[in-house]
Amino acid sequence: MTSSLLTDLYELTMVEAAREAGTASRRCVFEVFTRSLPEGRRYGVLAGTGRVLDAIADFRFDDADLRYLRGTGALKEETLEHLREYRFEGDVHGYAEGELFFPTSPVLRIEGTFENAVLLETVVLSILNHDSGVASVGSRMTTAARGRPCIEMGGRRVHEDAAIAAARAAYLVGFASTSNLAAGAHYRIPVAGTSAHAFTLLFDTEEDAFRAQLTSQGKGTTVLVDTYDVETAVRTAVEIAGPELGAVRLDSGDLEAQAGDLRELLDSLGATSTRITATGDLDEYRVEELADAPLDGYGIGTRLVTGGGHPAPGFVYKLVEREGSDGQMHPVGKQSENKATLGAGKAAYRLLVGGKARAELVLPGEAEVAEFEQELTASLMSGTSSPDWAQTSLRPLQVPLLLGGEPVDDLRAPERLLAGRERHAASLAELGISADEGPDGPAAIPTVTDGPEAARILG
């Protein structure tokens, strides 16, 4: 399976027209970024970079692809023959997977000829928009869960392949496990599961169902206790399993009130180590409300995998710089764009003071860092206050991913995912957000583009 048809038709017709006009081989810089965060979001989490690298590696036009394209009549034979030779040969730099992003953060930069780089637009955006949408809300959920393990169990609410990527994005931001077997198989994510109402209903009595489950799956299993009457169910389960009963799951009703009653009941029956897992239309707000309830974990589905009301961060893939007929590189942009998104490849750093993030620096080009540092120093010197300079550092956010079309590292998918999980945890710690602040707020740090602006924040 190639990935080349996961693409909008116009990418190919633009390549054809540019080739015929002699501009297809002009050097270009494309950047992926979003203009803003959704209302109430303090940050976004970049996810999907690992999958983007896989999609680029598979971006070839095979016989079946070309046969289909020929049949559309939209492209000339010469173009089709040229596409047969397509390989991505450019450079890709980007934020590490799991890294946080803010408005205008250049999360991916693609450099190559126009025809080589423009073709990747659709599939790159599909992957980054989807995966980052899930990761961005998932990070809020694990924060609200305050260390209580979260199970991803939303696969049934989304496209069956998106479900796999969603489980991956959830694991990236700290989910403990997934119910999705394909995600377990592809990415070695731990899988977990409980039992459904259908299982209880299959048996003549609830007691028969619990006995069957506990006999087969062992006492450490999780039984679902809200099919009929919760108290009766818990007494029945403990009677059969004894105090070694692993966990009970609540899927409906007033979870706060029930959790307290349930804990008391379990304790009174001697099942003091039996855990209580809550499920049922949970999101970061509900998890936050449940912080004081005696719960031991959450199963989270729909709101996670559908991006919590913001399914895509609005990533765009924009041409920001290209070679002109004079052979020189020129920044370019739509007339209506504002300065922050107009032209030129950008470098990005997180400005840290004492290990805490204070600003997202987005500078027009690597060469500008020295200038930024001079401006910043000058502004701080002239100001009335200044931070402990020795505590200030710039953490580079962009890393090379592909150079000349070749991967910079050869991490396999599960290892990449673990590295991203660590990156997310470390970058989130730099923000210093406490779960007690609640899920919503303005962007946690400002995006700044020059030294004086940074000095105002630090001063």
Tell which positions 348-387 bind a copy of itself, by CB under 8 A: none
- 400-429 mask for a copy of itself (x: CB under 8 A)? ------------------------------
**What's the DSSP call for residue 191?**
B
For CA atoms 79, 80, 84, 88, the dihedral sign is positive
| Shortest Å, Cβ 137 to a copy of itself | 13
Name which of residues 134 to 163 contact a copy of itself (CB under 8 A): 153, 155-163
Name which of residues 102 to 131 contact a copy of itself (CB under 8 A): 114, 118, 121-123, 125-127, 129-131
Tokens read off for 315: 């990533």
Residue of 441, 437, 403, 429 whose CA lies nearest to 93: 403
| Shortest Å, Cβ 147 to a copy of itself | 23
By CB under 8 A, is residue 184 in contact with a copy of itself?
A: yes
| Shortest Å, Cβ 359 to a copy of itself | 29
304 touches 142 (CB < 8 A): no
SS3 assignment, position 403: strand
By CB under 8 A, is residue 30 in contact with a copy of itself?
A: yes
| Shortest Å, Cβ 440 to a copy of itself | 19
Number of residues that bind a copy of itself (CB under 8 A): 99
By CB under 8 A, is residue 165 in contact with a copy of itself?
A: yes
The Cα 93–Cα 85 span in angstroms is: 24
- 298-327 mask for a copy of itself (x: CB under 8 A)? ----x---xx-x-xx----xxx--x-xx--
Cβ proximity to a copy of itself, 84 vs 159, nearer residue: 159
Is 155 exposed, middle or buried, given 0-12, 13-18 or 19+ CB atoms closer than 10 A? buried
Name which of residues 190 to 249 contact a copy of itself (CB under 8 A): 191-199, 201-204, 208, 211-213, 215-217, 226-229
The Cα 109–Cα 100 span in angstroms is: 16
Phi, psi of 192 (to 5 degrees): -145, 160
Cα–Cα distances in Å, from 192 out to 149, 171, 273, 294, 303? 11, 13, 19, 21, 19
By CB under 8 A, is residue 389 in contact with a copy of itself?
A: no
By CB under 8 A, is residue 341 in contact with a copy of itself?
A: no
Residue of 415, 410, 411, 402 whose CA lies nearest to 120: 402
| Shortest Å, Cβ 100 to a copy of itself | 21
Name which of residues 66 to 105 contact a copy of itself (CB under 8 A): 68-69, 72, 74
Cβ proximity to a copy of itself, 159 vs 412, nearer residue: 159
In whole angstroms, how large is the CA radius of gyration of the chain?
26
| Shortest Å, Cβ 340 to a copy of itself | 17
Cβ proximity to a copy of itself, 345 vs 451, nearer residue: 345
Q: Give me the long-range contacts of 438-443 (CB less than 8 A, separation at least 24).
A: 438/288, 439/40, 439/140, 439/143, 439/144, 439/284, 439/285, 439/288, 440/40, 440/41, 440/42, 441/40, 441/42, 442/42, 443/37, 443/41, 443/42, 443/43, 443/102, 443/103
| Shortest Å, Cβ 191 to a copy of itself | 5
| Shortest Å, Cβ 146 to a copy of itself | 26
